[in-house]
Amino acid sequence: MVTRRGKHPHTALVTPTDFEYLGEHATLEDFVHGTLEPLLPTGLRWLLDCLDLAAVLRVMTADGRDRLRVENGRVYLDRRAD
Phi and psi angles of residue 51, each rounded to the nearest 5 degrees, phi first:
-80, 145
For the question of whether the overall pTM of this predicted structure is more than 0.75, the answer is: no
- HSE-CB at 81 with a 13 A cutoff on CA atoms is 14
Q: Over the stretch 36-70, which tens digit does the pLDDT of each residue have?
A: 999 999 999 999 999 999 999 999 889 888 899 99
The structural domains of the chain, with segments of one domain joined by +, span 5-80
In the three-class reduction of DSSP (H, G, I as helix; E, B as strand; rest coil), residue 23 is classed as: strand
Q: Over the stretch 65-81, which tens digit does the pLDDT of each residue have?
A: 889 999 999 999 998 77
